[in-house]
Chain A
Amino acid sequence: MKTVTVTLRIRRTSKWQDYELHLPADAYVLDALQAAASQDQSLLFRHACHHASCGSCGIRINGRESLACITPLAKFGKSKPVIRLEPLRNFPLIGDLLVDFQPFMNQLALIDLPYARSVMDLPAEKHPIERLQPVAAEGDLPEISPEFNRLENCIECGLCVSACPIVGSDYNYAGPALLAAAGRVAAEPRGRSVPEILKQVDHDHGLWRCHGAFECSRVCPAGVDPAHEIMSMRSRLLQMLPTPRAEAGIK
């Protein structure tokens, strides 16, 4: 197995610390981080799923927001790269690469996007897909949707929040993750009021505070495209405005 030597340069609260490590060539930054942690058990960082579904290993790698678990070491060139690791911005720092996600989760709870969606998006959409007939249902189970369902794209990793320059300067800005969640509720309301949810984000520190840096969509590892959600909701809100004639009561 081919191995590589990499140096992780990790931001430890107020200084940088280097770790030289030897790893298989096809390993990921998270593997390197775990190797560093077995040398130095005081290193603080989060990880869980190792395949970009839990969203817990978000950090900045060479200044760019990324998930450590799916960033391959091969990306950094062949000859002994030095890889800079820093925690996400715009989250309260606990230590090293570990940030506090509770405030972010509290924010998302305000939008309360149900975590399972009912949209199918298989590549072979031309085939008519038969609706799912669940194989069995126990008497007192909640009604199983006859449509296929799946977990939302957004893994709540916070990369977009860290990358957004407005979140950094406006502490009241709703932020791309929250706005994208609102966009998803507006797209699939399931009985909730769309005007209500739009009203929740239609204010100076909500939808209109975005200044189009588009960094959120660029760093998102899950295909959420918050920028698109934000601009679509703006479009939608503008279409909902009454025309001057309607306002004047002219038919």
Chain B
Amino acid sequence: MGPKANAIVIGAGSTGSALAHDLSLRGLRVTVLDRAGVAGGSTGHNQAQLHSGARYAVNDPESARECIHENWILRRILPEVLELNDGLFVAVDEQGMVYRRAFLEACSACGIPTRELSMAQAWSMEPLLNPQALAAIQIPDGVFDPYRLCLSFLATASQHGAGVRTFCEVTGLDLANRKVTFHSRITNQEETLQADIVINAAGPWAAGLAALGGLHVNLEPSAGAMATIDRRVCNMVINKLAPADDGDIIVPQRNTSILGTTSWTVEDLEDLPIPSGHIEMIFKVAEQLIPSVRQAGLRGVMAAVRPLLITKGAGGRTATRGFTCFNHSAEGAPGFFSVVGGKTTTARLMAEKVADQVCAFLGIEAPCLTREFPLLSYRKLAQA
């Protein structure tokens, strides 16, 4: 029995990879295109935090609920590329203590389990935590490897017939015939693919890609800087207990730690010079949480672009981290969809929602299977 339909997914980051997996499981034949390698965009260099949602509980409870829900699911389907040591929200000043009550109530309302630790317990679990810290609340954060997360979704998808074409840059969108023209950087040839569905999952580049076909997508990309130090200073993800601000997270990963993040609006997606002072600011806040970060060597510095949705009046840090799926039928391009916003923690859910819309459009009865389906090892797909 042949595939139910053909789909092209543009973008091999977390959104595109999860979509390839979901659609393949529903019986579609998927081709993934990306102008770079897997996770060469925002997903690749994000801060690798498997969110419990606690960070969003107070200001963005919808995102928070999605996060905790997906957190449990990812622990089930993706065990191999996760560090599961929970996280702490740590108050280092009075502002934190004031925030504490709202934080606990909001987490409870969103279904995010919390446990207040005594400081003695907290220091015993995290010896390098600031000796002046005032309170510590444990939440189910985790850490992932973004590159291998994408590879795991794609490996499973390819086992179900998906094709992954990396280093293929889309050069044209033919709306009427649902064709995608792209240039393969490997063969140096132009190719055209036709499909029943084309999904733009290109993250911050989604607006530019949609524009190739004269379509419109509401994006407000905002960049953030991070600094990785050469030692692991904690086992749990350490968050500052306070309203969300720059530099307030330390994410351990392997034998290093990632400090971050900041925020600035982005003009040119290809050129992200980190504004001066951002890295220093990151260290300033991080050392409030774990003073010894200053003694570590700097391993690397990176900037990633958040594909934020434009919402009325909001911008930068307070813009929603939710996501939306644009159905371009309204713009005279039936079969074209764009997925915008979101974060890696909720990639599977984004894929589910988009795939539901896609199947509804195609008139296909195909339930989502990704909640329970264990992903294959990332080693099963190196690169296309």
A: residues with CB less than 8 A from B are 1, 24, 26, 28, 34-35, 38, 41-44, 46-56, 69-70, 94-95, 98, 100-102, 104-106, 108-109, 112, 114-116, 120-124, 127-130, 132-136, 138, 140-142, 144-145, 148-153, 155, 222-223
Q: Which A residues touch B127, using CB under 8 A?
A: 122, 124, 127, 129
Question: Which residues from chain A contact B255 at a C-beta distance below 8 Å?
Answer: 121, 150, 153, 222-223
23 A-B residue pairs with Cβ-Cβ distance under 8 Å, sorted by A, are A41-B185, A42-B188, A44-B167, A44-B186, A46-B383, A47-B37, A49-B147, A51-B302, A52-B300, A53-B228, A53-B256, A56-B147, A69-B302, A121-B255, A123-B231, A123-B292, A129-B124, A130-B121, A130-B125, A135-B115, A145-B84, A149-B84, A151-B253
Contacts of B79 in A (CB 8 A): 116, 142
B235 at the interface (CB under 8 A from A): yes
> Is A115 touching B80 in the complex (CB atoms < 8 A)?
yes
Interface residues of A, dominant DSSP: loop
The answer to whether B232 and A121 touch across the interface, beta carbons within 8 angstroms, is yes
Q: Max chain B CB contacts within 10 Å: which of A1, A44, A53, A153? A: A53
Question: Interface on chain B toward A: helix, strand, loop, or mixed SS?
Answer: loop
Q: How far is the CA of A145 from the CA of B84 in the complex (A)?
A: 9
Contact call A141/B76, Cβ cutoff below 8 A: yes
* Chain A positions within 8 Å of B304 at CB level: 50
Chain A residues with Cβ below 8 Å from B36 are: 46-47
Contact with A along B107-149 (1 / 0, CB 8 A): 0000001110000010111011000000000111001011110
Interface positions of B from 288 to 316, Cβ below 8 Å from A: 292, 299-304
Q: How far is the CA of A24 from the CA of B83 in the complex (A)?
A: 34
Shortest Cβ gap from A213 to chain B (Å): 24
| Alpha-carbon gap, A132 to B379, bound state (A) | 30
B361 interface contact, C-beta 8 A: no
Q: Binary interface profile of B, 356-368, with partner A (CB < 8 Å = 1, else 0)?
A: 0000000000000
- Across the interface, do B235 and A56 meet the contact criterion of CB distance under 8 Å? no
A50 in contact with B300 (CB, 8 Å): yes
Question: Does B82 sit within 8 A of A, measured CB to CB?
Answer: yes
* B317 close to chain A: CB less than 8 A: no
A-chain residues with CB within 8 Å of residue B86 when the two chains form the complex? 132, 134-135
Taken together as a complex, chains A and B put the C-alpha atoms of A101 and B45 apart, in Å, by 20
Nearest Cβ on chain B to A75's Cβ, whole angstroms: 13
Query: Is B351 engaged at the interface, CB distance under 8 Å to the other chain?
Result: no
CA distance A134 to B140 in the complex (A): 7
* Chain B window 165-209, contacts with chain A (Cβ cutoff 8 Å), 1 for yes, 0 for no: 001010000000000000001101000000000000000000000
Interface centre among B45, B232, B382 (most CB of A within 10 A): B382
Among B215-223, B268-276, B332-340, which stretch is in contact with chain A?
A: B268-276
Complex contact B300–A142 (CB within 8 A)? no
Say whether B59 faces chain A, with CB atoms less than 8 Å apart. no
Distance in angstroms between the alpha carbons of A98 and B166 in the assembled complex: 11
A-side contacts of B39, CB under 8 Å: 48-49, 54
Contacts of B167 in A (CB 8 A): 44, 98
Instruction: Indicate if B72 sits at the interface (CB-CB under 8 A).
Output: yes
Q: Is B38 an interface residue (CB 8 A)?
A: yes
Chain A residues with CB under 8 A of B350: none
Contact, CB under 8 Å: A38 / B299? no
B206-245: contact bitstring with A at CB < 8 Å (1 yes, 0 no)? 0000000000000000000010100111111000000000
Contact residue among B72, B140, B226, B382 (Cβ-Cβ distance under 8 Å from A51): B226
Say yes or no: B147 contacts A151, CB within 8 Å: no
Contact across chains for A135 and B185 when beta carbons are under 8 A apart: no
Q: Which residues of the other chain, A, contact B143 by a CB distance below 8 angstroms? A: 150-151
Choose among A69, A122, A153 the residue that contacts B233 (Cβ–Cβ < 8 A): A122
Verify B80–A116 contact, CB threshold 8 A.
yes
Whether B11 sits at the interface, judged by CB under 8 Å, is no
Q: Residue of A at shortest CB range from B115?
A: A135
Q: Which residues of A contact B377 (CB under 8 A)?
A: 109, 112
B34 to chain A, nearest CB (A): 11
The verdict on A102 contacting B382 (CB below 8 Å), with A48-B45, A120-B235, A130-B125 known, is yes
A150: B residues at CB distance < 8 A: 83, 85, 143, 232, 235, 252-255
Looking at the complex, which one of A1, A28, A109, A124 makes contact with B128 (CB distance below 8 Å)? A124
A121 to B235 Cα, complex, angstroms:
9
Choose among B75, B83, B123, B169 the residue that contacts A142 (Cβ–Cβ < 8 A): B75
Give min CB distance, A190 to chain B, whole Å.
13
* Chain A residues with CB under 8 A of B254: 53, 150-153, 155, 222
Q: Are A135 and B140 within 8 A (Cβ)?
A: yes
Contact B128 A123 (CB under 8 A): yes
Residue among A115, A127, A141 with max Cβ neighbours from chain B (10 Å):
A115
For the complex of A and B, 5 pairs with smallest distance between CB atoms: A48-B44, A54-B147, A136-B113, A50-B302, A101-B382
A50 touches B44 (CB 8 A): yes
- Determine the chain A residues whose CB is within 8 A of the CB of B292 once the complex forms: 123
Taking CB atoms, residues of chain B closer than 8 Å to A24 are 273
**The residue from A1, A44, A52, A129 contacting B299, defined by CB atoms under 8 A apart:** A52
Distance in angstroms from A241 CB to nearest chain B CB is: 33
Give A143 Cβ to nearest chain B Cβ, in Å.
11
Q: CB < 8 Å: which of B83, B232, B252, B383 contacts A101?
A: B383
A122 touches B128 (CB 8 A): yes
Instruction: Compute how far the CA of A104 lies from the CA of B80 in the bound complex, rounded to whole angstroms.
Output: 19
Contact residues in B for A135 (Cβ distance below 8 Å): 86, 113-115, 138-140
